[in-house]
Structure 1
């Protein structure tokens, strides 16, 4: 199976916008109620058996099963009888909201994310249609369950060979958008190591430094917009909370943030295509992005968007048939790329790599990129050797993704 996501901007009528807003509010209430059930059950099982809390205790019978996606979905039918407004929302949309909560708990358990939080009014900004009808898309409009035909700006054609599996409705500061997941029953081969290789080191002084000597200064998207954002936030603080003028001022702030995010993403996409020109392999550092975001320079690391850039670069490499791999990022700036000697820790102000063992001198970031390149080539060396010997049987040859 091969999936692609197509994003389009919707052109809903005022009545359709009212339906979207109502559905978001109902999804928010279902999400909060289900989260409250799970939170109360967890707290009831964390009470001490020989003492009571000075504040309160959560008394829930011992035989009460742990709330999960399945048993909470079963109780949706009973909840619709008690709350008739839930019947106006498609059943699968509410089920996807519960599945969203389940994913949040799985991310907390497996990926060390924080405990899921309750959503305030207006904070639920998306809902999902997991299934659409037969031929749901016509020229410039899509048929959504319970809502009907909704117009959208079809900026590009959707291939007829694919099947639309899901529709994700998203509310943003600039309007309503729809994300269509299109699926093809084909197996697309992964790119294999070939051609010229390049290593990339990322940083705050130079956003990227490549192993062939290219350095690119980091654009300061958020820092440059801070002055305007500060002015807009000051205007918000002077409005009465909940008033129409307060909502208008909030929308201006949200639009500015969206503009900054769009500029950053556009620059990342253009840079990823520039990197993939005339290369066959790309190696980057496997950084601890969460740790960087919580460091002293966390604001600048988040402004650079290293994680988003790596994801976009990986997607671009896949589309253009370029091999992409992450390598160990430890001590890349302390290792000499020429002889492999550990040169010791460098201060941030020291921007030149000078090896006392082999007298190799280079820019600090370029030397780190060359170390990344050597580690990447060492990682794929065994794979390339086995491919050359013909020991990997059944691996399809590289083909261009543009044929899809």
Structure 2
């Protein structure tokens, strides 16, 4: 099992200068390797169905790949000795990042979905470098020992759990400082509980009026962190717009704006974690709608959808459930608000109609509560729940 923990760093002034130098050099190397890939791509391709009458055929060169670009790193340190100050694993990780980016552009990911043309990174866009290996005792006395960098103060607000080993360490520059993100591994695999309590299965309907309403009728209010911070963000954004580009005043305003946006993000993420913890403490199985958030974010409700952060919440909920041996199930969201949860009859409702009244069976309840019950009912065919039901019946008999 893999998980990640993030801690804030407290580097001194000299270490901050060194961090910025490393990021600048790594960004230059990233852009150089990416341009090398583009040069090969442009000079070694031609259209299949067309060829100009007069053309110059260049000398074809081998495709630069991960191994060839990695093998060129020793020569880089000879030509540019200042790169020798950077740890070799950090430089190798830059090559790996270029490889992944370019492969997704040409071939796509595991699902065959291609990404857009990779872009060259500016100084503000390249903010992370990674050590692919770390010693088990790299953290001691609130300091972390980074190879070829030195010891940096770290705020250990929580201890690394027993049984987990540090696999990688990524240093990231954010609006309010520098952070270290550890990728942790525990070879033991958590197993799903062999028996679920029938009273501890709940369905949740995600919404914009309430963050979610569960099948028991409990509604969790939506905090709307971004909308509440808009007034302050507007003032700071004006300061950025009025300042001259490239001036110190503008740079300070940009940093201040970044901090304000990070506050909103941190508040939203804290709410997601606390809400997920509350759900998993009270229930063994959580059933939710498998929403297409990407499509919803292109509608007129885009700001509210992004402010709610449904995808982030479901991701956090799923990860926490997996670590605890619990179960999170996604079901088809089609017509959950229109179908009656008692008789199954379709009761058409517009978006502003917030109450469900079924003339067929007389069911009358809140629209979101009705949808949550439908979501819970649609999970009955899940293989794990079927197996659990079979085990329960066999014990009774």
TM-score of the superposition, structure 1-length normalised? Answer: 0.87
2-side partners of 1:65 and 1:285: how far apart? 48
1:245 lines up with 2:249 in the alignment: yes
CA contact (8 A) 1:25 1:122 kept: no
Superposition deviation, residue 152 in structure 1: 0.9
Could you say which residue in structure 1 is the equivalent of 2:321?
317
1:155 lines up with 2:157 in the alignment: yes
**Shift in alpha-carbon separation, 1:107–1:364, aligned structure 2, 3 A:** farther
Which of 69, 88, 93 in structure 1 is aligned with 2:90? Answer: 93
2-side partners of 1:59 and 1:274: how far apart? 65
Moved more, 315-324 or 245-254: 315-324
1:339 lines up with 2:343 in the alignment: yes
**Shift in alpha-carbon separation, 1:161–1:316, aligned structure 2, 3 A:** closer
Could you say which residue in structure 2 is the equivalent of 1:402?
none
CA contact (8 A) 2:190 2:323 kept: no
> Which runs of structure 2 are paired with 1:2-401 in the superposition (5 Å)?
2-44=1-43, 47-48=46-47, 49-51=50-52, 61-62=59-60, 64-108=61-105, 109-110=108-109, 111-133=113-135, 135-159=137-161, 161-192=163-194, 194-195=196-197, 196-344=200-348, 346-380=349-383, 381-388=385-392
CA contact (8 A) 1:192 1:323 kept: no
**Shift in alpha-carbon separation, 1:104–1:210, aligned structure 2, 3 A:** farther
Superposition deviation, residue 263 in structure 1: 0.6
Moved more, 358-367 or 301-310: 358-367
- 1:98-148 per-position Cα deviation (integer Å, ceiling 9, x unaligned): 222333345551244433222112211111111123521212111111012
| Partner SS, residue 341 of structure 1 | coil
2-side partners of 1:348 and 1:148: how far apart? 58
2-side partners of 1:58 and 1:101: how far apart? 29
| Partner SS, residue 277 of structure 1 | helix
1-side partners of 2:369 and 2:191: how far apart? 32
CA contact (8 A) 2:77 2:84 kept: yes
**Shift in alpha-carbon separation, 1:342–1:98, aligned structure 2, 3 A:** farther
| Partner SS, residue 242 of structure 1 | coil
1-side partners of 2:390 and 2:45: how far apart? 54
- 1:331-350 per-position Cα deviation (integer Å, ceiling 9, x unaligned): 22222221223334x32112
TM-score of the superposition, structure 2-length normalised? Answer: 0.88
CA contact (8 A) 1:129 1:168 kept: yes
Superposition deviation, residue 60 in structure 1: 5.4
Superposition deviation, residue 298 in structure 1: 1.5
Uncovered stretches (5+) of structure 2, i.e. residues with no partner: none
